[in-house]
Structure 1
Amino acid sequence: MRRRKLLAGLAATAAAPLLGSGSVQADEALLGELLVTRLRDAMLGLGTAAAAPSSPEALATDFTRALADFDACRYASLAVRLPRLIRVGHALSTSGGDTEQHTLLAKTYLLATRMLVKMDEQQLGWMAADRAQQLAQSTGDVLAVAESARQLAVLARKAGWHDQALSIALSAADHPDLRGTGRAGAAVRGLLVQSASYTLARRGDRDGMRELTDEAAALAKELGATLLRDHGGGFSPLTVQLHRISAENHADDPRAALDAARAISLKALPSVERRSRALGDIAVTYDRLGRRSDCVRTLLAAERCAPQETHARPATKTLISSLLVSGPTSTELRGLAERSGVLV
């Protein structure tokens, strides 16, 4: 009896912020924590789905909306939709779901992995990426298998396992199955090469990073138009240039990162998420160059672009916290810190 009461109390606590309309009433600084908590519980099989889609077709529509939420940095909506997709996807799969439903669940886990990487939640990220890979392999979805490998390489790099991260990314890029998937497969190869170049930057190999980035750029130029908008965030000459900003920062050359940033038109980037990421990388660049006011100005621009992401993302909070203690503050910086839940 005591155990049942405890479980009922926990379930009520977890469901309290959830509204039937699909919105979340929460301070934006806490949205990241809320999203992670709900993803964790869904992945562990805790709780029940609210207002679940009634059919596989409705589930596919809900996934499309989740992708749109991710691209628009709507964390409040994702905190409802993404955990629900995981729960319902598993329910449909275990009740005789077909290959299409398993493929959709693999893609859901890939989206969850990308979100968890943003939130610096490596343990859950490993779990989500591994499940995505197993589901993709079971259905023979070559592109999803390759994208799951890319996410695993990202997580290995974040864990400091640079050799393993390189091996995962480059082996996936050279896999013969991927070479038989046309332009989309070529774009995935470009994303995998970019992942490997990040790892070389982290390892201090600036020349190697630039060589691989140039390889990705050449491939993007050959392909032309943006590919994979909903699979890895897109691949094009413009997104490779965006990659250069962060890669040069990782390689400890902020001046080269700033040169890369000056070559980008933010309006031309394919989504709010990409523009927000670019502004975040530019803010880091200014911080490393000691251009404090430009850094704050860029963070405020990122907030206008994607307030929920700016207020919730741990990397941004860390930068704001560093600015607060490293020099004089301004009303604008203190306001941003308060809205982001960073102690002033």
Structure 2
Amino acid sequence: MGVERRWSELPEARQAAAVGDFGTLLRVARTAARLTLCEAGQRCGYSAATLSRIERGRQRLSDVTVLRRLAAAFDIPPELFGLADIDGPAFHQSGPPLDRVRGEASRREGGVDPVRRREVIGGLASLVGSTLAGRSPALATPPRVITSLEDILLGGCPTPAGTVDPARLRTTLASAWSDFRACRYARLSARLPQLVAAATAGHAGAADSQRATAATTLTQTYHLTVQVLIKLHEDAMAWSAMDRAAQTARDANDPLLSAETARVSAIVLRRTRHGERAQQTLIGAAQELDETTGLSSAGQVATYGRLLATAAYTAAVGDRRDTAWELLDEAAEAGRRSGAGDGFASVDVALYRVSVARVLGDFGAAVQYARALRPDQLGNVERRARYWEDYALALHGRGAYAESFRALQAAERIAPQEVRYRPWAQQLSVALLDADRRQTLPGLRSFAARIGTPT
């Protein structure tokens, strides 16, 4: 508290707080902590350029979620941002506690170049409305470029010109989900900023009779955004998208949408070291869905099973073995009842068994489960990529390095961008290179160089 008091009592800080100049407050706090813009960006999950715009007043800070995260990341007394104490009752009544994100993604990257990974979300310029209007981005006039998805989550992007066509928007959203399931991350992230902007504008401008439908589209867009950010280990930004999904889901008043929002939220909670809260969120959502709907349709049962399977994986991450397997058995029962309803069936539970065993360190069991499951049984490329990820990591855990490398190669063949942009593949390549000191794995070094692994 001593350092915090000293900088916060500076005349510049007091004046900035008095007039609501949050950018100056952020700059004073950052310099007091002796952080460069790049170092500060790594701490809170924003680029140096975005922080610079905020500090210079070029990008306003008004979103409460963003203010809370910045206050937590830089030890800024919340009252200086006009907030109630982050750890106080007022915050806990309005949503889940937002502890600071302490660079978890960078800790797990194991040498992966975060700039190369962030280019997928931030470096690909997007044109608001160009795809929705059916025009080539290169021909859009005038171009309205969004240089980063984080600009949208901070509320700093322009709104699409003209009226948003709800039917065209839903078609674009379905196409974006197809890109996600096919692991086409570069193409998806190029269109994602404009999609979020258009869905936000569509929801804001919807008539009362269409508001629930527009809220559903926007919530599903945020679900996709969270999933992409999770894939790229951009956990801090995923917090913002998660918060918006929870807000808009209430307008939709759809039990299935609310359940999926809870599931996505729990994944973000788990990744940011709120495992217990994530588990409570998932179990509570499953119970609420059961009580609200009676699980009378295949889609409801499938969603229920997906919640339980995610809860099982969450329990495994927390090393709660018995709970993990018990929940997965319940999810398996739901999978049998739903058949292929809404994309969740017994084959999906089988994939979770591989993941749960691998996370618990039962590498032999994970390999056994993986060999009993044919990847072509899985419904899309993204699920098959997850299969090869778990299989490759489990094989490495058993010391079967040659087989692990072959599984990694299989992942690249079916989903090259999964291997190119996701940290797990980079980390595994580093581990295989370290284990293969005698260079007995032909092609490993050229493979590692091709996917950008530091050697």
- Superposition TM-score, scaled by structure 2 size: 0.65
Which piece of structure 1 moves more, 157-166 or 206-215? 157-166
Distance 1:52 1:77, change over 3 A: farther
**Contact 2:286/2:304 (<8 A) preserved:** yes
User: 1:274 and 1:268 mapped to 2: Cα distance?
Assistant: 10
Q: Say if 2:384 is the partner of 1:270.
A: no
Aligned match for 1:325, one of 434, 437, 442: 434
Partner of residue 253, structure 1: 362
**Contact 2:164/2:198 (<8 A) preserved:** no
TM superposition shift of 1:189: 1.1
Matches within 5 A, 1:216-295: 216-224=331-339, 226-228=340-342, 234-295=343-404
Q: Say if 2:200 is the partner of 1:90.
A: yes
Counting matched residue pairs gives 315
User: 1:180 and 1:243 mapped to 2: Cα distance?
Assistant: 22
> Which segments of 5 or more consecutive residues in structure 1 lack a partner in the other structure?
1-5, 11-28, 229-233
**Contact 1:93/1:101 (<8 A) preserved:** yes
Aligned match for 2:154, one of 19, 44, 57: 44
TM superposition shift of 1:326: 3.1
Matches within 5 A, 1:180-195: 182-195=297-310
TM superposition shift of 1:165: 1.5
User: 1:31 and 1:141 mapped to 2: Cα distance?
Assistant: 38
Q: Say if 2:269 is the partner of 1:156.
A: yes
TM superposition shift of 1:49: 7.3
Aligned match for 1:297, one of 406, 411, 418: 406
Partner of residue 416, structure 2: 307
User: 1:201 and 1:237 mapped to 2: Cα distance?
Assistant: 19
Which piece of structure 1 moves more, 51-60 or 87-96? 51-60
- Percent identity at matched positions? 34
User: 1:186 and 1:134 mapped to 2: Cα distance?
Assistant: 24
| Larger Rg computed on CA atoms | 2
Partner of residue 76, structure 1: 186
Distance 1:335 1:125, change over 3 A: same
Aligned match for 2:251, one of 138, 143, 148: 138
Partner of residue 425, structure 2: 316
Partner of residue 213, structure 1: 328
Structure 1 ranges of 4+ moved more than 6 A: 49-53
Partner of residue 14, structure 1: none
CA deviation vs aligned residue, 1:129-166 (integer Å, no higher than 9, x gap): 22112111122021111111111211222223222111
Aligned match for 1:174, one of 287, 293, 309: 287
> Which segments of 5 or more consecutive residues in structure 2 lack a partner in the other structure?
1-48, 54-113, 123-147
TM superposition shift of 1:251: 1.2
TM superposition shift of 1:128: 1.1
Which piece of structure 1 moves more, 50-59 or 153-162? 50-59
CA deviation vs aligned residue, 1:253-293 (integer Å, no higher than 9, x gap): 01111111111111111001111110111000101001001
Aligned match for 1:59, one of 144, 155, 169: 169
CA deviation vs aligned residue, 1:47-71 (integer Å, no higher than 9, x gap): 4578999511111110010011011
TM superposition shift of 1:180: 5.3
Distance 1:68 1:53, change over 3 A: farther
Give 1 or 2: higher helix fraction. Answer: 1
TM superposition shift of 1:34: 2.4
CA deviation vs aligned residue, 1:215-261 (integer Å, no higher than 9, x gap): 1111111222x222xxxxx3110011001111111111011111111
**Contact 2:121/2:190 (<8 A) preserved:** no
User: 1:316 and 1:52 mapped to 2: Cα distance?
Assistant: 42
AA at the equivalent of 1:35: V
User: 1:51 and 1:288 mapped to 2: Cα distance?
Assistant: 53
User: 2:337 and 2:205 mapped to 1: Cα distance?
Assistant: 44
Provide the aligned C-alpha RMSD in A: 2.5
Distance 1:327 1:53, change over 3 A: farther
Q: Say if 2:338 is the partner of 1:338.
A: no
Q: Say if 2:225 is the partner of 1:112.
A: yes
What SS does structure 1 have at the residue aligned with 2:454? Answer: coil
AA at the equivalent of 1:191: R
**Contact 1:283/1:294 (<8 A) preserved:** yes
**Contact 1:45/1:87 (<8 A) preserved:** no
User: 1:52 and 1:33 mapped to 2: Cα distance?
Assistant: 30
User: 2:166 and 2:386 mapped to 1: Cα distance?
Assistant: 33
User: 1:272 and 1:286 mapped to 2: Cα distance?
Assistant: 21
User: 2:116 and 2:183 mapped to 1: Cα distance?
Assistant: 11
User: 1:88 and 1:67 mapped to 2: Cα distance?
Assistant: 16
Which piece of structure 1 moves more, 329-338 or 167-176? 329-338
- Superposition TM-score, scaled by structure 1 size: 0.85
Aligned match for 1:198, one of 313, 321, 327: 313
What SS does structure 2 have at the residue aligned with 1:173? Answer: helix
What SS does structure 2 have at the residue aligned with 1:319? Answer: helix
